[in-house]
Amino acid sequence: MMRIIASGKCGNCFLLLFFILGFYGCAGTYSVVEFEVLEPATISFPDDVSQLLVLNRAPLSMDSFNEEDREGLGERELLIVDSLITNSIRRGLVDVFKNSPVKRFHKPVFLDERRKDTLYSKDLILTKREVNSLCERTNTDAIVSLERYFLDVGLYYDFYEEESSEILNQYYIFSNLIRWAIYLPGNPRPFDEYSTVDTLYFSRISDGMFVGTPSSAEMLRDLFYESGQRYGRYLVPVWVDTYRTLYKGKNDSLRLASKYTRDGNWDLAYALWEQMIDSGDSTLAAKALHNMAVYHELEDDLDSASQLIDRALQYDTLELVKSYREELDVRLMNREEVIDQVIN
C-alpha cells in the first residue's frame, strides 16, 4: 500500500489531504482512495468566543450508577471511580480540541465546581449571575459544562443450547449517559444542551474460548474517553477519514491509469481518463469522468469535481456515480460552514 501526501486549497489554504491508494472489495474492478476531510461542528460558537471554560459540575453521588453497580461502592471507591470517569471525559475532549484547526480552542480552562443537588431533584442550571461570575473569574468567554453522568455495567452470557450450562459467549456491556450544557455570559438560559449515550462491548469468552478482557478501570477509561471525544466533535470541526472509489475495470486504459495512480503518477492517469471521454463508449466515459472528479476532490477543487460528476451522470447513471454525487453534495453543503468555523 502506497502513501501519497497532497495539499489543496479551501478558503485560506487550511485543508490538507492525506490519502492512501489501496485495493478493497473487487480488486479487479475498483481501487479505493482514503483521505481526510474537515467536517464542521454541529454547533457554532459566536464569533466573540475565543476562550472556553470546561466546567465539571456533575454531582458526586451514588445515584450516578445503576443500583446493582453500587454494591461495595463506598465513599472512597466512589471518589476513585468518579476521578477515573471525569478525567477520561476530559482527556477525550482535550484530544479533539488540540487536533482541531480551531486554534483558539486548543487550550481550554478547566474547573471543578460540583453540584450539591441530588440527581432526582429538578435540574439546576447556572444562573446568569453565576455564568458572568465564572467567566469573569477565569477570563473566559463561554462555559462548556459537564452537568451529570450515569453509568451502567452488565455481565452477559450466551449458552450453546437453551438448557445447556456450557458458556458460548461471555461479555461485559458498559454504557453511559452524559449531559452537557453550554452557557454564554449575559444569557439567562443555556446556549445549548446536549446528551451523549455510548455503549462498549468487551468479550471475556468468545465461541467457547477465553479471550480475556481489560481491567474494569481500562474499560471505564475507554468508554468515557470515547464519550469525551464524541462531544468534542460536536463542538469543533474535526478531520475524519473518508473513502472514494476509483474505477479500475477490465479496460486496458483504466487498468493502466490505475497503475499510474498506484505509482503516484496522477497527472498521467488524468491524461488517460481525459482520452476515454471521447472513446464512443458512454459507460467508459462516465467512469473516466468519475475518476477525474475524485482527483479534483483530492486537490480540494470541489467545484470542478461537482461539474465532472454531473457530466458523468449525463453519460451513464451508474450507481457508484450517483452515490458519489450525494457525497459531494454533503461536502459542498458543509464547505462554507467549515470555513466560517475555522477562520472566525
- Please check whether residues 229 and 298 belong to one and the same domain: no
Helix 75-99 crosses helix 216-235 at what angle (to 10 degrees)? 40
- Please check whether residues 119 and 187 belong to one and the same domain: yes
Is residue 1's pLDDT more than 50? no
- Please check whether residues 59 and 76 belong to one and the same domain: yes
Average pLDDT, the chain: 86
- pLDDT for 118: 60
Kindly state whether residue 170 falls inside one of the protein's structural domains.
Answer: yes
Query: Contact 33/24 with Cβ under 8 angstroms?
Result: no
- Please check whether residues 166 and 73 belong to one and the same domain: yes
From 202, 236, 270, give the residue that closes a domain.
Answer: 236
- Please check whether residues 24 and 60 belong to one and the same domain: no
Distances in Å between the Cα of 343 and the Cα atoms of 13, 14, 48, 129, 334 are 11, 9, 12, 31, 14
Kindly state whether residue 47 falls inside one of the protein's structural domains.
Answer: no
Structure confidence at residue 11 as a pLDDT band (50, 70, 90): very low
- Please check whether residues 201 and 96 belong to one and the same domain: yes
- pLDDT for 115: 86
Distances in Å between the Cα of 98 and the Cα atoms of 17, 55, 85, 237, 306 are 19, 18, 20, 11, 32
- Please check whether residues 307 and 338 belong to one and the same domain: yes
Kindly state whether residue 19 falls inside one of the protein's structural domains.
Answer: yes
Element (H, E) at 98: helix 75-99
Kindly state whether residue 169 falls inside one of the protein's structural domains.
Answer: yes
From 184, 219, 236, give the residue that closes a domain.
Answer: 236
Is residue 27's pLDDT more than 50? no
From 183, 203, 236, give the residue that closes a domain.
Answer: 236
- Please check whether residues 200 and 295 belong to one and the same domain: no
Query: Contact 59/118 with Cβ under 8 angstroms?
Result: yes
Nearest alpha carbon to residue 36 among 15, 50, 22, 54: 15
- Please check whether residues 304 and 168 belong to one and the same domain: no
- Please check whether residues 227 and 268 belong to one and the same domain: no
Kindly state whether residue 46 falls inside one of the protein's structural domains.
Answer: no
| CATH number (domain holding residue 214) | 3.30.160
3-state secondary structure of 239: strand
How many domains is the chain built from?
2
Residue 83 and residue 269: Cα distance in Å, rounded?
55
Q: Higher model confidence: residue 118 or residue 211?
A: 211
pLDDT in tens, 88-99: 999 999 999 999
- Please check whether residues 254 and 221 belong to one and the same domain: no
pLDDT in tens, 143-173: 999 999 999 998 888 887 766 678 888 888 9
Kindly state whether residue 189 falls inside one of the protein's structural domains.
Answer: yes
| CATH number (domain holding residue 11) | 1.25.40.10
Kindly state whether residue 45 falls inside one of the protein's structural domains.
Answer: no
Structure confidence at residue 235 as a pLDDT band (50, 70, 90): very high
Kindly state whether residue 117 falls inside one of the protein's structural domains.
Answer: yes
Query: Contact 200/219 with Cβ under 8 angstroms?
Result: yes
Left if phi > 0, otherwise alpha if psi is -120 to 50, otherwise beta: which for 280?
left
pLDDT in tens, 299-334: 999 999 999 999 999 999 999 999 999 999 999 999
- Please check whether residues 223 and 134 belong to one and the same domain: yes
Domain enclosing residue 263, as ranges: 2-40+245-343
- pLDDT for 124: 80
